[in-house]
Chains A and B, each alone.
With several copies, the nearest count.
Chain A
Amino acid sequence: MKLAVFVSDYRLTVDTLDRLNPEKLGIILVQNGVYHATTKENGKPSSLLNKSASYYALIDDLETRGLGNADVADNVKVISYSDIVDLIFNEYDKTAWL
């Protein structure tokens, strides 16, 4: 299974991501999910970035919150809405919105 997981919040109330282990995993950070890419607490990056996955963060939702490319962790690729459409159709076969 090639799964694209959308994370739209910073404080997750579900632990689903911890147990998903598909053959290919993409994590697309949107809305307040983008804080996982930018925010360190007490110097530590979000533990969500520790998975063996490809990470993406939506530029529109970064900039809405006063954030930008320079704030994003190295292993996260900054993408557009158009990129999301391409990822869904071309890189993954199923989606999950947590």
Chain B
Amino acid sequence: MGKLTIGCFASLVGSMSLDFAVRLAGTALDKGHKVDLWVSGNGTMLSIKGQRAFKDYSALEKPLKELMEKGLNVTACEACAEARGYHKENTLDGFKRHSMDWYLASSFDADRVLHIGGE
């Protein structure tokens, strides 16, 4: 079993890259791998508490919480979040916030890194 670090920089609802990242993270966890998920840029939207689940929009708060219970380690870029007005008090419980070096540190002992940067 290995460690997969996923970095996702795309937006929550605008594209479905975060849906992909969360689904892939869950699948890797279920297969016994360790998974770190880093969100940066618009991806930090994923960290916000109280997202309303409408059927017209991608809604990831619930699946994300389930994955965190299964051991998903998930962290948002603190500067990217603050620049958008996402503060600590609006952050999902258990969702960490760190500076960008966290992502690089996670990659240090990762067997694989999937960096979802495009757009």
Contacts and interface: CB of A to CB of B under 8 A. Distances in A.
A and B touch in the complex (CB under 8 A): yes
A97 B119 CA distance: 10
A93 B4 CA distance: 12
Contacts of B17: 8, 31
Contacts, number: 49
Given A8-B17, A31-B16, A97 B23 contact: no
A89 B10 CA distance: 23
The 8 closest A-B pairs by CB, nearest first: A81-B27, A85-B28, A97-B116, A95-B114, A88-B112, A85-B27, A89-B2, A82-B27
Interface residues of B, number: 20
Contacts of A31: 15-17, 20
A33 to B, nearest CB: 10
Contacts of A93: 112
A48 interface: no
A82 B31 contact: yes
A30 interface: yes
B72 to A, nearest CB: 14
A88 B4 contact: yes
Given A31-B16, A85-B24, A97 B117 contact: yes
Contacts of A53: none
Contact of B115 (A82, A88, A97): A97
